[in-house]
A and B are shown apart, each in its own frame.
Chain A
């Protein structure tokens, strides 16, 4: 079941999407970076974007959010957010990143907030072109096989649409008038475009055995060299679509009886991440923190990396620390 949508019909398609939730998509205002925001006018949509600074993770695990209204005597009242959202234009790497986050946030103890939003959000992927920072082919995340409702692949004047879920199928049914069955010629085009795209990747990282390579390279000088110029500012983690660390805090109101429990994204590059009672820190230096970050990114579990090759951590590091370069150095000598 492959469908085809003419680019000229995109605006009408978005109109239909609005029935399923508030549409959010990549836009870039003057002086800003690309970001997923509410699409108030389809003219500002930029489906040909490179990457957003903040990944779509922000819709599921919010940068800052209130978890509970609290009361000294009555305890904690969950704050439920059941808004319906359509995310239009999510890249394959970011979809794969969400699939990785799912393994953490929807497990034996499913996170209510994350899970509810995941269920209430429709994800429509869009194909992309790599820039010099993308290396998702190396992390096996350049193509999304699951974790989306629809996926749109650009070919010439139209999009080939893959259906990834029942909800996606419902959207297709609603947009019957706009969508055609993809012809065998269209499929040929789709394959050609995908093959073309693969050729455009210039950055590659060999991740073969990287887990052991990192384990064995604790003493590698590269950690110290980079720790010298690293701020420990956390930006690399905060823009990473697979970083999932958070911190929580309670705040009381003026009455000293009621308040809120909040959580916000955290980063293992910040010094308090490894601090425990008595002032002992399990990762006191930036060397240890860098080492930890790279190790965490290269392993979610025995069978999976925890990086989708999106390039954000390199692009948004104010110290210009290059993620792939560091890993290459570790791997090569």
Chain B
């Protein structure tokens, strides 16, 4: 199914940096509607960012994965320069994701030693961070993996020339809209839903599971201290709570602080 290249189709590129799930759009691509939707764009690049070399201006670049090496960073900057809009897709690109879990707890050197048995930063590794830490990001689609519905609506909005609507409220809202029982209240489970960006339609609580925070904290609103407080009250040890918070949100300042304070207390 090859559409004739049309002048007014927005030109897009899809790139992946160091990713955890990786190839997010590829997976979704299997869906019929998405194929039809993507056919409304002119896809210029669909590749690993590291092999990025083309010299075309893009209307929209979708970037997945987080920046973990100097090389990632160079490519990312290049993509930014050549694109009018840059959209971060998936948790790695948005927040640094699971890879950022240990950020600021252990140094890069320690981690290199751990993993590769060497102390040198041979791969020129950076602390994994969302791409918004390095370049201007126009829109973010969180999730690990991303939600089909959200990708669909975002693409439709962009196609229509509108800024996409991405939720900026917590998962609890979706629990209530659907009438799902609260797993913190009813079962004392360590749910992170109150501080995590909605958009998954409260998938985990709908199954009676506690939210693990895969869509990342709500920017500018997360009350991590409240989460610590609420779970403490239900008998969870600080260490457990902090590790849980860090899993998907290691790069969030107020969550980092929780860990740091804890560490220094522990050491004394």
A–B proximity contact (CB within 8 A): yes
Cβ of A216 < 8 Å from any Cβ of B?
no
A332 to chain B, nearest CB (A): 24
List the one stretch of A18-26, A113-121, A205-213, A227-235 in contact with chain B.
A227-235
Q: Is the CB of A239 within 8 A of B176?
A: yes
Q: Is the CB of A53 within 8 A of B177?
A: no
Which residue of A54, A228, A238 contacts B173 across the interface (Cβ within 8 Å)? Answer: A238
Which residue of A234, A315, A318 contacts B169 across the interface (Cβ within 8 Å)? Answer: A234
B120 to chain A, nearest CB (A): 43
* Interface contact tally, CB-CB below 8 A: 107
Known interface pairs A31-B208, A53-B181, A318-B230; A271-B160 also in contact (CB < 8 Å): no
Number of interface residues of A (CB under 8 A): 37
A34 to chain B, nearest CB (A): 10
A261-296 residues with Cβ-Cβ distance < 8 A to B are: 264-265, 267, 270-272, 286
Chain A residue at minimal CB-CB distance from B156 = A252
Q: In the assembled complex, which residues on chain A have CB atoms less than 8 Å from the CB atom of B169?
A: 234, 267, 270-272
A289 to chain B, nearest CB (A): 11
Known interface pairs A53-B181, A228-B226, A254-B37; A271-B194 also in contact (CB < 8 Å): no
Q: Is the CB of B223 within 8 A of A231?
A: yes
Most buried by A among B172, B193, B195: B172
Q: Is the CB of A320 within 8 A of B230?
A: yes
Chain B residue at minimal CB-CB distance from A58 = B179
Known interface pairs A252-B160, A319-B230; A264-B223 also in contact (CB < 8 Å): no
A219-274 residues with Cβ-Cβ distance < 8 A to B are: 228-235, 238-239, 249, 251-254, 256, 264-265, 267, 270-272
Known interface pairs A230-B226, A256-B160, A271-B221; A64-B184 also in contact (CB < 8 Å): no
In the complex, what distance in Å separates the CA atom of A315 from the CA atom of B37? 44
Q: Is the CB of A63 within 8 A of B177?
A: yes
Q: Is the CB of A33 within 8 A of B186?
A: yes
Chain A residue at minimal CB-CB distance from B231 = A318
In the complex, what distance in Å separates the CA atom of A228 from the CA atom of B156? 39
Chain B residue at minimal CB-CB distance from A284 = B220
Q: Is the CB of B172 within 8 A of A318?
A: yes
Q: Is the CB of B168 within 8 A of A271?
A: yes
Cβ of A76 < 8 Å from any Cβ of B?
no
B230 to chain A, nearest CB (A): 5
Q: Is the CB of A231 within 8 A of B173?
A: no
Cβ of A94 < 8 Å from any Cβ of B?
no
Range for the number of chain B residues in contact with chain A: 35 or more
Chain B residue at minimal CB-CB distance from A36 = B179
Which residue of A63, A229, A233 contacts B170 across the interface (Cβ within 8 Å)? Answer: A233
A232 to chain B, nearest CB (A): 6
Q: Is the CB of A316 within 8 A of B177?
A: no
Known interface pairs A31-B208, A318-B185; A233-B173 also in contact (CB < 8 Å): yes
Known interface pairs A231-B226, A271-B220; A315-B185 also in contact (CB < 8 Å): yes
In the complex, what distance in Å separates the CA atom of A63 from the CA atom of B175? 11
B61 to chain A, nearest CB (A): 22
Q: Is the CB of B181 within 8 A of A32?
A: yes
Which residue of B179, B184, B185, B194 contacts A54 across the interface (Cβ within 8 Å)? Answer: B179
B139 to chain A, nearest CB (A): 16
* Interchain residue pairs with CB less than 8 A apart (28): A31-B208, A32-B181, A33-B179, A33-B186, A53-B179, A54-B179, A229-B226, A230-B223, A231-B170, A233-B172, A234-B170, A234-B172, A234-B176, A235-B172, A251-B156, A252-B156, A254-B33, A254-B36, A254-B156, A256-B159, A267-B173, A286-B223, A315-B185, A316-B182, A318-B184, A318-B185, A318-B194, A319-B230
Given A235-B194, A251-B156, A271-B168, 4 more A-B residue pairs with CB atoms under 8 Å apart are: A229-B225, A233-B193, A252-B156, A319-B226
Q: Which residues of A approach B to under 8 Å, CB–CB? A: 31-33, 35, 53-54, 58, 63-64, 228-235, 238-239, 249, 251-254, 256, 264-265, 267, 270-272, 286, 315-316, 318-320
